[in-house]
């Protein structure tokens, strides 16, 4: 009888051990999945960032990367970027593609109310901060003379944040920004920036006559 009890106890202990291991594995599963998701997000963003380095390049230029020339025309443009987006895993489910833009705090003038629908800056070299869907590609242009948005490209990180560096000229500077996501949604916004420091810059750097 005692032997039977010992066998029963041993079997019970083995069952408890297996249950404990199973519970530990179940608890670890969400962590592993989260790590895999984070790794996939990092890979997606890194690949898109590599694309932005080759964006607008042509065959023979140092930054041309044939891996991003999906239509094989010797030029890496928006069509290639959109194709790349579709081929990568999305960072989020399909949600409305919103786009917000602001001048970086360090560049904003104090006690100055913006006179346009965009922003104002005291700096000739200004940073614009943006937020949109994580993993979206950002294409930029400079107003009516650049309807094809042939400015630099950027990528929204895993939190949807991105930044753009803009060199401002006299008066109001037109910045056009378009966000495009994995699902083909796009959002185009005009963001005029008024440079308040032009007169000071002009006095410091007078034009040669």
149: its two tokens: 């948005």
Superfamily for the 95-204 domain: Immunoglobulins (2.60.40.10)
Under 8 Å between Cβ of 53 and 62: no
Distance between first and last Cα of the chain: 112
Average pLDDT over residues 101-124: 85
Q: What average pLDDT does the chain have? A: 81
Any bridge partners for residue 58, and if so which? 75
Under 8 Å between Cβ of 139 and 180: yes
In the chain, where the domains are located: 1-89, 95-204
- The confidence score (pLDDT) of residue 114 equals 59
Q: Which residue has the higher pLDDT, 205 or 124?
A: 124
The whole-angstrom separation of Cα 153 and Cα 172 is 22
How many percent of the chain have pLDDT more than 70? 70
Which residues touch 166 (CB under 8 Å, ≥6 apart)? 125, 126, 127, 128, 173, 175, 193
The whole-angstrom separation of Cα 180 and Cα 164 is 16
- The confidence score (pLDDT) of residue 118 equals 87
- The confidence score (pLDDT) of residue 110 equals 82
In terms of average pLDDT, the best of 17-26, 48-57, 194-203 is 48-57
pLDDT single digits (tens) 158-172: 999 999 999 999 888
How many percent of the chain have pLDDT more than 90? 62
């Amino acid at each position: 009888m005692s032997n039977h009890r010992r066998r029963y106890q041993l079997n019970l202990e083995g069952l408890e051990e297996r249950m404990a291991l199973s519970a530990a594995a179940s608890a670890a599963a969400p962590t592993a999945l989260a790590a895999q998701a984070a790794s996939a997000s990092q890979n997606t963003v890194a690949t898109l960032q590599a694309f932005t380095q080759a964006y607008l390049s042509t065959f023979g230029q140092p930054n041309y990367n044939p891996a991003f020339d999906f239509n094989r025309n010797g030029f890496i443009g928006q069509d290639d970027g959109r194709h790349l987006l579709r081929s990568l895993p999305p960072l989020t489910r399909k949600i409305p593609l919103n786009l917000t833009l602001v001048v970086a705090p360090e560049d904003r003038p104090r006690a100055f109310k913006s006179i346009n629908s965009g922003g104002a800056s005291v700096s000739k070299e200004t940073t614009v901060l943006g937020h949109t869907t994580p993993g979206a590609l950002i294409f930029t242009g400079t107003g009516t003379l650049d309807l094809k948005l042939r400015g630099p490209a950027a990528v929204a990180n895993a939190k949807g944040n991105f930044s753009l560096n803009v060199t401002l000229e006299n008066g109001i500077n037109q910045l056009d920004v378009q966000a495009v996501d994995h699902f083909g949604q796009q959002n185009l916004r005009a963001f005029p920036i008024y440079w308040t420091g032009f007169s000071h810059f002009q006095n410091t750097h007078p034009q040669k006559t």
